[in-house]
Amino acid sequence: MEKTFIVAEIGINHNGDLQLAKKLIDAAVVAGCDAVKFQKRTVDKVYTQEYLNSPRQSPWGTTQREQKEGLEFGKEEYDELDRYCREKNILWYASAWDVDSQKFLRQYNCKYNKVASAMLTNDALITEIAQEGKYTFIATGMSNYDEIDHAIEIFERYNCPYELMHCNSTYPMPVEDANLRMVYSLADKYQCKVGYSGHEEGTLVSTCAVAMGATSIERHITMNKEMYGSDQRASIEPYELCLLVKDIRDTERLLGTGEKVLSDAEKAVREKLRG
C-alpha cells in the first residue's frame, strides 16, 4: 500500500501569533506528519466592505475587519515560516482564497497547492492555481458533481495533476455524516486519487478513511481546543495527532496485500492442528 500523505492543517489556528504557529509546526514534526498547511487571504478581496464593517468581538477589536486582519500573516511572517519549515525538514503549503493570495504564495515555490471547499466554484482562482501545474489537493465539501466536474475540467485543461479530497464542511462534523463510502465513489467516478479532509472530533473517522482507500488525510490541529477561533473545536490536539499518525501507519501495515498467503507461524499451527 502506498504511504498515506498526512497533512496537519494549521490554517488560522495560529491566531496571528508566529510563535504559536511554530509550536504547531513542531507538533506536526513530532507526530510524523508529511506537511503542514496554512490559509492565505487578501481580506479586501475575499469579503465585502459591508461585511468587514459589521460588528464582531475578537481579541483584535470590534469589527469583522479587525478580526480577519488579525488572523492574517504577511510576507515577514511567511518568510520566517518558510525558513522554519525548512529547518524542521517538513513541507508546507497553503490554500489561497483569492488570486492575489495565490500570486503571493508563488514566491515560496511550495511543492503543492490546495483548493479549499469554499473556493471550488471560484473559476478565476482555480484557473490561476491550475496554470501553475503543481500537484493540487481539491476539497469537495459543499459541492455537487456538476461543480466538481467543472473544476476538474479546468485542471485537465492545463494538464495540472490533482487529487480530490472527500470532505464534509461542518465544524465540527457529526461522525454520522462522514459518508466515507464517498472515497470509493469519487475514485470510481473520476479515476483519480482521493483523500479525506476531516473536521470531526477525534481520530477514528480519519483512520477509517485510510482503510477505505483514502490516499491523503488532512486534519486541523490546535494546541488547545478551547482557544479563540472558529476552527479550534473541529481540530485535534498534539496527542491526538500523534495517535492519528500512528494509527494510520498501523492501518497501512495491517491491510496487507489481499493475497492469500500462509505465514510461517500459521503453517506451524496448520501442521499441529491438521497433522
Whole-Å CA distances, 256 to 140, 187, 195, 211, 253: 29, 20, 19, 11, 6
What's the pLDDT at 269?
Answer: 93
Query: 226: helix, coil or strand?
Result: coil
List Cβ neighbours of 147 (8 Å cut-off, separation of 6 or more). 120, 121
Q: What is the pTM of this model?
A: 0.95
What's the pLDDT at 275?
Answer: 72
* Cell, residue 231: 476552527
186 — phi, psi (to 5°)? Answer: -65, -40
Residue carrying C-alpha cell 492469500: 260
Closest listed residue to residue 94, CA positions, set 248, 109, 84: 109
What's the pLDDT at 2?
Answer: 85
Exposure of 77 by Cβ count < 10 A (0-12 exposed, 13-18 middle, 19+ buried)?
Answer: middle
List Cβ neighbours of 149 (8 Å cut-off, separation of 6 or more). none
- Local confidence pLDDT in tens for the 275 residues of the chain: 789 999 999 999 999 999 999 999 999 999 999 999 999 999 999 999 999 999 999 999 999 999 999 999 999 999 999 999 999 999 999 999 999 999 999 999 999 999 999 999 999 999 999 999 999 999 999 999 999 999 999 999 999 999 999 999 998 999 999 999 999 999 999 999 999 999 999 999 999 999 999 999 999 999 999 999 999 999 999 999 999 999 999 999 999 889 999 989 999 998 899 87
Domain architecture of the chain: domains with CATH: 5-274 (3.20.20.70)
* Cell, residue 10: 494549521
Distance CA 151, CA 72 (A): 27
Distance CA 239, CA 211 (A): 21
Closest listed residue to residue 9, CA positions, set 100, 104, 139, 126: 139
Distance CA 163, CA 166 (A): 10
